[in-house]
Structure 1
Amino acid sequence: MEKTMSTTVPDLLKDTALAPYAYTQAGGVVDYLAIPKTLEELGQLLFWARDEGLPVHVFGRLSNLVVRSGGLRGLVILMTELKRVEQKGDRLIADAGCDIIWLSALAQDKGLTGLEWAAGIPGSVGGAVFMNAGAYGGQTDMVVDTVTALMPDLTLQTFKRDELAFSYRHSVFQDNGGVIVQATFTLKRGDRTKIQEKMDEFNYARALKQPLSWPSNGSVFKRPEGYFAGKLIMDSGLQGTSVGGVMVSTKHAGFMVNVDHGTGNDYEDLIHLVQKTVFDHYQVALEPEVRIIGDR
C-alpha cells in the first residue's frame, strides 16, 4: 500500500484494496483512496479529482455494496471520519460518516425515540439517507427532515423533506450526484427504558434470524411485491449454495455470507445464480438491494 503526499489534497492511498474496509470483506483495488476528516478536506479532494479528470465514488461503511474484483478507477472517498453530531432540542444533526447504530444509541441516551429500528443496521448516516434504509417498520424517511449535500458543481445545497424523493430504498441522491454531508433527524421525547427495550427486542430478533457472525451485506434483495425474497430463495433449495467463497446463508436465505475469502465477483455471480433459479421456479424477478459496481 503506497501513500502519496500532496500539498493541495489530504493524504491519498494509491492502489489500495477495498476489502479491509467493507462489511463483506471483499472488493478489488481502487486507484486512489482517501478518508477526509473535515468538510474542507472533502472539498479539496473533489476539486483535485475534477482537475485531474478522475471519476469519484463516495461511500460510508461499504455495508450495502458489492465492489467487483477488478476494483474501481479514479478516487474513492470514505466518509467514516466525518461523524460529528449536534443536538438541538428534539433534533439530532449528524454528519454523513456517523454510524447509524451509534446515532440510535445516542438518541436513546438523550431520551429521543424514532431511531430504534436503526439499532442494528451496519451503515452510516449518509448511506442510510442515500438508500432510505429501514427495518422493523421504521425507515429513514420517517425521521429525516433536511439533508445537506455537496453538489457536482461543488456548492453546498440543503434539501427539505419534500425534495428528497424518498421511496423504497431510494432517495434523490441516487439521481443528482450530490455527496451527502449532513442530515437532520427530527425525533420525539420518550422514555429511555422503553426505547432501550425496543432496541434490545429488535437486536434479539436479528441475532436469532440473521447470520451476524459472518461478513455480509445484510439483506441482498428488495422485497418483491406479494412475496418475501428469503422465502423464495429458501423454497428454491438454494440455502448452502456457494460460488467461490460466498454462500447463501443457511440461517437466513436472504443473506449471502463470505465464508472463505470470497470476492466481489463471487458475490455478483451468486446473486445472478439466485436470480435465475428463483425465476425458473416462480417466475419472480428478484432485484438486488445491494449496489454492484466496479470492473470485473
Structure 2
Amino acid sequence: MELLDLRKDGIDIQKQIPLSKYTFTKTGGPAEYLAFPKDLDELKKLVQVTREKNIPLTVIGNASNLIIRDSGIAGLVIILTEMKKITVKANTVTAEAGARIIDTAFTAARAGLSGLEFAAGIPGSVGGAIFMNAGAYGGETQNVVQSVKVLTRDGEFKTYSNKEMNFSYRHSLVQDNKAIVVSATFGLKHGEKLKILDEMHYLNALRRYKQPLEYPSCGSVFKRPTGHFVGPMIIKAGLQGKRIGGAQNSTKHAGFIVNKGGATATDYLNLIHLIQKVIKKKFGIDLHTEVRIIGKN
C-alpha cells in the first residue's frame, strides 16, 4: 500500500502544503505530505504505511511552540487537531491529543474540577502539553496527569502512568521514545466552578497584559536557566527590540520573538542564535530553546 492509497479510506492527505498555514509564527516550509487523521484507526494506518515504506514521519499538534525550517519537512507530517474529543468522568477529564489544552481546562472548570487553571491560556494541544510538560504560573502538566495513552512507532497502543512518563522541566518520556500521544487523562479535584473560572480569567488577563499576543509568535523561546531569568538578561544585553528580517525580540516581553511581518523561519533562527551568542559572551550562560525546532537543514 502506498501513502496516497489511504485517500480511498477517507483519510485527508495533501501534498506540498506550506506549514506556515498552521504554525503560530506564520513561518515554515512545506510538508512533502500532510495528513489530518480523524481517529485512532486512521492514525494507526498512517503510521503503519510510513513504517512499511520507510517514509519519514513527523507528528505535531497545534504548532504553537514550534519553528519549522523554511526548507520544510520530508516525508509525512501528521497534524492531530482533528482528534479533539474531551470527556469528563467523576473527577477526571480525558482529552484526545489534538484537543487544545485551553479547551480541556475550560471543560474541567465548567464541570467544577480544579487543577488545570494554569493552562487556561496555553495555546498548545494536549499532546503538545504532554510532550513538553507545559507549564505556566506555577503549574505544570505533570502535576495533574493521571495516565497517557500513546501509539508507538511500531503500531502498538500503550498506556503510561504519570510516573512512567518520566516528566521533568519541559521534558517527558515521549521525547525520548518517539511514541505518539493519542490521549491523556487528568486527575483533578472538585471545586467551586465560579472560583475556578475567576482564576482562569485572571491568569488570562495577566497573560494579555504581559505577553505580545497581538503578534504571531511561538511563545516563550528559551528554557529558564537555573538561578536566572531569560528576559532580564536579554534586556541587560541590549537585545530587547533587536530585529532580523521580520522577526523581532519583543519590546513587551523579552522572552518572546514575534513576527512583525514577513518573517521567515530563518529570521527566527538567526535571531535565536544571535541572542544565544551574546548571552553566552556577556553572562557565560548557555541558553537552550524551549521552542521545538524541526525540519530539513
Aligned to 1:14: 15
How far, CA to CA, are the matches of 2:204 and 2:138 in structure 1? 14
Whether contact under 8 Å (1:9, 1:45) holds in the other structure is: no
Aligned to 2:266: 265
Secondary structure of residue in 1 paired with 2:7: coil
Q: Please, which moves more after superposition, 160-169 or 277-286? A: 277-286
Aligned to 2:208: 207
Deviations 1:220-258 (A, max 9, x none): 000011110111111111111111111000000000001
Q: Output the aligned Cα RMSD.
A: 1.3
How far the C-alpha of 1:6 sits from its partner, in A, is 3.1
Where do 4+ consecutive residues of structure 1 move more than 4 Å?
none
Whether contact under 8 Å (2:118, 2:137) holds in the other structure is: yes
TM-score (norm 2): 0.96
Whether contact under 8 Å (2:60, 2:79) holds in the other structure is: yes
How far the C-alpha of 1:206 sits from its partner, in A, is 0.7
Aligned to 1:24: 25
Going from structure 1 to structure 2, the CA distance change for 1:242 and 1:171 (only over 3 Å counts) comes to same
Equivalence map 1:14-93=2 (5 Å):
14-93=15-94
Identity %: 48
Whether contact under 8 Å (1:211, 1:252) holds in the other structure is: yes
How far, CA to CA, are the matches of 1:186 and 1:47 in structure 2? 32
Deviations 1:63-106 (A, max 9, x none): 11111100010000000010111211000011000000111111
In structure 1, list runs of 5 or more residues that go unmatched.
Answer: none
How far the C-alpha of 1:283 sits from its partner, in A, is 1.0
How far, CA to CA, are the matches of 1:271 and 1:9 in structure 2? 41
How far the C-alpha of 1:11 sits from its partner, in A, is 2.5
How far, CA to CA, are the matches of 2:157 and 2:269 in structure 1? 35
Report the AA paired with residue 113 of structure 2.
L
Whether contact under 8 Å (1:4, 1:14) holds in the other structure is: no
Whether contact under 8 Å (2:17, 2:33) holds in the other structure is: yes
In structure 2, list runs of 5 or more residues that go unmatched.
Answer: none
How far, CA to CA, are the matches of 1:148 and 1:6 in structure 2? 26
How far, CA to CA, are the matches of 1:274 and 1:48 in structure 2? 41
Whether contact under 8 Å (1:80, 1:97) holds in the other structure is: yes
Deviations 1:204-229 (A, max 9, x none): 11111100000001100000111101
Whether contact under 8 Å (1:63, 1:123) holds in the other structure is: yes
Aligned to 2:242: 241
1:119 aligns with 2:120: yes
